[in-house]
Structure 1
């Protein structure tokens, strides 16, 4: 399978924790669908201290994985929101 485009889309979204509304990432997202995964190379700004853990409430919101050969975070349903 093909790797995701490194430059990626130009549209950025803000990703927040669903529980405490703390900002987690600024991410270059492609498409109109729900946020299922975040490719690490597309994260513009990372506000987390520990990987895939909310800095305020310390809840794990994603799992570290490989998608199409590229490192990514797979989001756990209902743990994050985006604007």
Structure 2
């Protein structure tokens, strides 16, 4: 399978915890669909202390995985919102 585009999109979205509305990261997202996965190389600013754990409410919002051979966070449904 093809790897994600290195340069990536220029539009950034704020990824927030759905429970406590804490900002988790700024992410360069492409397309109009829902946020299903976040490629680590596209995260511009990370506000988390531990990977995949919300710093305020300590809820796990994603799983660390490989997607198309590239490190990514696979989002758990209903745990995050993109704004």
* Aligned-partner Cα distance in 2 for 1:7–1:18: 28
1:5 aligns to 2:5 (yes or no): yes
Residue of structure 1 equivalent to 2:19:
19
Structure 1, unmatched stretches of 5+, are none
1:54 aligns to 2:62 (yes or no): no
Q: TM-score, normalised by structure 1?
A: 0.99
Query: Where does structure 1 differ by over 2 angstroms across 4 or more consecutive aligned residues?
Result: none
- Superposition RMSD on alpha carbons, in Å? 0.4
* Aligned-partner Cα distance in 2 for 1:29–1:61: 18
* Aligned-partner Cα distance in 2 for 1:54–1:27: 16
Q: Paired residues, what number?
A: 83
Q: CA deviation at 1:6?
A: 1.3
**Deviations 1:29-81 (CA, angstroms, capped at 9, x unpaired):** 00000000000000000000000100000000000000000000000000000
* Aligned-partner Cα distance in 2 for 1:21–1:69: 31
Residue of structure 2 equivalent to 1:38:
38
* Aligned-partner Cα distance in 1 for 2:24–2:34: 16
* Aligned-partner Cα distance in 2 for 1:5–1:71: 13
